[in-house]
């Protein structure tokens, strides 16, 4: 058995050796025709995966930096944050640190973001930006983007809509152009199934126009700078070239699988995990209608000894999750995304079952 347990935590997720090997492809120059061809082909496939003609940027840092990019290129009047878990809550800290005028719609953890609550707050006219997390990794809650899109398109077409899709992009179908999302971001260590430290975002024309009007947006996260380089299929600074090779490989795998098959696979793994949890007498932490396709958060109402299960699974070659922050031991998460296929999930759950009562 490998000294490295197979990861069943909600990021970084499992990356098989075949993909890790691709990351050690020899370096190429970042101002060469070779890299431009590589980037162009990656952007083309990401646009197809996200059903968009918006500009896509590849960014060599964690997604947290893109929270800031979204805000710095859009907030003039104020930003309304929807908070329903740990990551949406952390995003607020960025607005606070950047001294933006902001307000928060606060949900009980486990609940999804609702269009009517957004409507109530945006109708004040105090905000020109809405920020929300599509898939709250801390709670396994996936909010309904269609419902929010309907509201944004019909009543608030001038408000910039920022969406964190860190643990949903590439695992759940998100039709950006149809939904009208202005800025959506993800990092690679979740459903993309690559190592951490690299991110992807999509920027609408509306967002790019807003960016041009912004003062004090700095240089590193300026969308105008990004656009200047990406129009030549290059990056503003030296990128993580191994991640580019890795992304190319993952996109090849995705293309072979087919997008609809990929979305279905994630949904099937979600259903399997939910059925298993219910059959064990456990409940789901996420509210009905908001169960994520990429991660299931299970309320531990059977009082399983999660530390014991964790240690026993480690002995068997798996690292599991015991729950985020204060939820530790009370609600644990089973991720099922990216390079995890039904067989991997079944193997994990079968090992899990063996150690529940030993
Ligand atoms: N947003 C969500 C929903 C996340 O789950 C995470 C990390 O787990 C982040 C943002 C932060 O991503 P990164 O660590 O790439 O900055």
Q: How far is the CA of 311 from the centre of ligand 1 (A)?
A: 25
Please indicate whether residue 169, judged by its CB atom, sits closer than 6 Å to ligand 1.
no
With 0.95 as the threshold, say if the pTM is over it: yes
Q: Which pair of tokens denotes residue 176? A: 């950006």
Q: How far is the CA of 64 from the centre of ligand 1 (A)?
A: 6
CA dihedral 41, 43, 45, 46 (to 10 degrees): 160
- Written as one string, the DSSP assignment of 71-96 is HHTT-SS-EEEEE-SHHHHHHHHHHH
Whose CA is closest to atom 5 on ligand 1?
Answer: 137
Could you report how far apart the first and last alpha carbons of the chain are, in Å? 21
Per-residue confidence in pLDDT tens, the chain, 358 aa: 678 999 999 999 999 999 999 999 999 999 999 999 999 999 999 999 999 999 999 999 999 999 999 999 999 999 999 999 999 999 999 999 999 999 999 999 999 999 999 999 999 999 999 999 999 999 999 999 999 999 999 999 999 999 999 999 999 999 999 999 999 999 999 999 999 999 999 999 999 999 999 999 999 999 999 999 999 999 999 999 999 999 999 999 999 999 999 999 999 999 999 999 999 999 999 999 999 999 999 999 999 999 999 999 999 999 999 999 999 999 999 999 999 999 999 999 999 999 999 8
Per DSSP, the three-state class of 331 is strand
Q: Which pair of tokens denotes residue 270? A: 């979600």
Edge to edge, what strands does the sheet with 79-83 contain? 55-59, 199-203, 183-187, 160-164, 129-133, 79-83, 102-106
Please indicate whether residue 137, judged by its CB atom, sits closer than 6 Å to ligand 1.
yes
Please indicate whether residue 187, judged by its CB atom, sits closer than 6 Å to ligand 1.
yes
Query: To test ligand 1's pocket by mutation, which of 60, 67, 137 has the most ligand atoms within 8 angstroms of CB?
Result: 137
Please indicate whether residue 85, judged by its CB atom, sits closer than 6 Å to ligand 1.
no
Q: How far is the CA of 325 from the centre of ligand 1 (A)?
A: 14
Please indicate whether residue 86, judged by its CB atom, sits closer than 6 Å to ligand 1.
no
Q: How far is the CA of 188 from the centre of ligand 1 (A)?
A: 10
pLDDT of res. 358: 82
Query: To test ligand 1's pocket by mutation, which of 10, 87, 113, 174 has the most ligand atoms within 8 angstroms of CB?
Result: 87
Please indicate whether residue 87, judged by its CB atom, sits closer than 6 Å to ligand 1.
yes
pLDDT of res. 214: 97
CA distance 177 to 202: 10
Q: Within 10 A of 165 (CB to CB), how many other CB atoms are there?
A: 27
- H or E element that contains 148: helix 145-155
């Amino acid at each position: 058995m490998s000294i490295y347990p197979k990861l069943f935590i909600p990021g970084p997720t499992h990356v098989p050796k075949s993909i890790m090997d691709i990351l050690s492809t020899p370096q190429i120059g970042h101002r060469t025709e070779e890299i431009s061809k590589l980037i162009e082909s990656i952007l083309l496939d990401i646009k197809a995966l996200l059903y968009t003609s918006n500009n896509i940027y590849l960014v060599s840092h964690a997604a947290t930096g893109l929270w800031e990019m979204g805000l710095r290129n859009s907030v003039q009047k104020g930003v309304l944050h929807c908070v329903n878990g740990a990551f949406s809550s952390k995003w607020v800290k960025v607005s606070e640190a950047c001294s933006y005028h902001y307000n928060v719609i606060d949900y009980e953890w486990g609940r999804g973001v609702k269009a009517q609550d957004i409507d109530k707050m945006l109708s004040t006219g105090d905000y020109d930006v809405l920020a929300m997390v599509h898939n709250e990794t801390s709670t396994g809650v996936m909010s309904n983007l269609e419902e929010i899109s309907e509201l944004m398109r019909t009543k608030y077409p001038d408000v910039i809509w920022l969406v964190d899709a860190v643990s949903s992009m590439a695992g759940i179908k998100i039709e950006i152009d149809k939904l009208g999302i202005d800025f959506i971001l993800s990092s690679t260590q979740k459903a993309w199934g690559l190592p951490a430290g690299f991110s992807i975002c999509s920027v609408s024309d509306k967002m790019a126009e807003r960016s041009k009007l912004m003062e004090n947006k700095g240089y590193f996260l300026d969308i105008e700078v990004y656009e200047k380089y990406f129009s030549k299929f290059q990056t503003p600074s030296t990128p993580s070239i191994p991640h580019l090779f890795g992304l190319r490989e993952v996109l090849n795998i995705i293309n072979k699988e087919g997008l609809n098959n990929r979305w279905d696979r994630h949904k099937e793994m979600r259903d399997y995990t939910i059925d298993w949890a219910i059959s064990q007498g456990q409940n789901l932490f996420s509210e009905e209608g908001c169960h994520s396709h990429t991660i299931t958060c299970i309320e531990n109402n059977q009082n399983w000894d999660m530390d014991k299960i964790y240690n026993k699974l480690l002995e068997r070659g798996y690292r599991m999750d015991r729950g985020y922050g204060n939820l530790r031991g009370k609600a644990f998460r089973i991720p099922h995304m990216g390079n995890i296929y039904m067989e991997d999930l079944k193997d994990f759950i079968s090992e899990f079952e063996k150690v529940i009562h030993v």
